[in-house]
């Protein structure tokens, strides 16, 4: 009986190993399909589901066969001999030929994945150069140039912070944005809601989204920019390489704060930079004016 239990555990261990190998194969397959290729990713998901279902069916049949053979036989020795034979086959054949095939395949997949990553990085660098050249031309026409902002998840808020007359922390900007959006839920909810989600669920999701603005280093979107436009009572202009500038807060008769949106700046995703004058003179060259607390959120326009 003890030997029979050991043989069953061997079958289960082998099956778990096969499942790990399948998951490694699936992860490698995921990296071969670009994230923006929705059609191929859908096909990949279907193929992954098929592979997982096929393996699950195979493992189920193996266990059923094991218990069927064991239950048919009243001779414990014959059951043990059968399981021993299965274990021997698994160890001698699978752990030799199959393991070597698996190792060769894994090495090939690793090499293939490394080539893909190199090509993706080369493509990203090319897109980044092209995007920066277009943005530089747009900014030159405004006598501006890009001012780099750290890509730390706070970039949109830091770009706004950079253009205020007096120092305001990123935390305070996030808190003000979150509070404003929670106080004006009905103004923002239509642009946040998913039509397939009930209204109550959408509102709850939106309130959690607002709370995460403070809790996490989450990327800012047009929703947050609209809230900041109202908080600062100023227009915000977002310069983009391949689209006309986006103006938020057109109801305010002010010169806009100018942000630069970069789609290919970071491996992790989208990014915002600030701007500065090409040739700063006078008070601008001396740096932003330090004002009282009541003017802490006054925009410093270029």
Strands 257-266 and 236-239: parallel
pLDDT tier, 286 (very low <50, low <70, confident <90, very high otherwise): very low
Rg, Å, the chain Cα set: 30
Tokens read off for 301: 């326009």
Alpha carbon 294 to its chain's center: 38
Q: ∠ at Cα 161 (156, 166), nearest 5°?
A: 175
Quote the pLDDT of residue 280.
53
Whether 44 has a pLDDT exceeding 60, the answer reads: yes
Provide mean pLDDT across the span 29-55: 82
- CB 143 within 8 Å of CB 160: no
Rounded Cα distance, 29 and 52, in Å: 13
Q: Tokens 């190792």, residue? A: 103
- Give 226-237 pLDDT, tens digit per residue: 999 999 999 999
Most confident region among 49-53, 55-59, 163-167, 214-218 by mean pLDDT: 214-218
Domain ranges of the chain: 2-127, 142-295
271 catalytically annotated: yes
Q: Please say whether the dihedral angle defined by the alpha carbons of residues 78, 84, 89 and 92, taken in this order, is positive or negative.
A: negative
CATH number for the domain formed by residue range(s) 142-295: 3.90.70.80
Whether 281 has a pLDDT exceeding 80, the answer reads: no
Cα torsion at 97, 103, 104, 105 (round to 10°)? 100
Least confident of 132-146, 199-213, 245-259: 199-213
Rounded Cα distance, 155 and 162, in Å: 10
Tokens read off for 82: 């059968």
152 catalytically annotated: yes
Provide mean pLDDT across the span 48-65: 84
Q: Ramachandran region of residue 143, left (φ > 0), alpha (ψ -120 to 50) or beta?
A: left
The neighbour count for residue 75, using CB atoms within 10 Å, is: 8
Whole-prediction pTM: 0.54
Whether 75 has a pLDDT exceeding 90, the answer reads: no
- CB 173 within 8 Å of CB 230: no
- Give 133-148 pLDDT, tens digit per residue: 999 999 999 999 999 9
Rounded Cα distance, 127 and 85, in Å: 59
- CB 132 within 8 Å of CB 261: no
pLDDT tier, 297 (very low <50, low <70, confident <90, very high otherwise): low
How is residue 244 annotated by DSSP?
P
**Helix 38-72 / helix 76-89 crossing angle, nearest 10 deg:** 150
Out of 7, 155, 176, 210, the active site residue is 155
Rounded Cα distance, 106 and 112, in Å: 10
């Amino acid at each position: 009986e003890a030997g029979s239990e050991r043989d069953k555990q061997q079958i289960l261990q082998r099956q778990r190993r096969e499942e790990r190998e399948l998951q490694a194969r699936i992860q490698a397959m995921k990296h071969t399909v670009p994230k923006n290729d929705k059609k191929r990713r859908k096909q990949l998901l279907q193929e992954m589901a098929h592979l997982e279902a096929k393996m699950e069916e195979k493992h189920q049949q193996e266990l059923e066969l094991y218990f069927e053979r064991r239950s048919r036989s009243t001779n414990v020795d014959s059951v043990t001999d059968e399981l021993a034979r299965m274990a021997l086959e698994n160890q001698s054949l699978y752990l030799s030929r199959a393991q070597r095939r698996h190792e060769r395949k894994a090495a090939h997949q690793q090499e293939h994945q490394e080539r893909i990553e190199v090509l993706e990085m080369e493509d990203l660098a090319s897109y980044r150069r092209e995007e920066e050249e277009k943005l530089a031309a747009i900014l030159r026409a405004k006598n501006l140039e890009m001012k780099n902002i750290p890509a730390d998840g706070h970039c949109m808020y830091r770009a706004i912070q950079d253009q205020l007359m007096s120092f305001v922390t990123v935390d305070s900007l996030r808190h003000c944005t979150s509070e404003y959006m929670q106080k004006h839920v009905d103004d923002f909810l239509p642009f946040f809601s998913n039509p397939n989600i009930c209204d109550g669920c959408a509102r709850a999701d939106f309130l959690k989204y607002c709370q995460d603005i403070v809790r996490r280093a989450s990327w800012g979107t047009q929703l947050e920019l609209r809230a900041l436009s109202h908080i600062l009572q100023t227009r915000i202009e977002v310069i983009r390489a391949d689209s006309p500038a986006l103006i938020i807060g057109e109801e305010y008769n002010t010169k806009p704060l100018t942000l630069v949106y970069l789609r290919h700046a970071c491996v992790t995703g989208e990014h915002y930079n600030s701007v500065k004058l090409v040739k700063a003179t006078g008070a601008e060259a001396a740096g932003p004016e330090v004002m009282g607390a009541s003017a802490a959120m006054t925009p410093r326009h270029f």
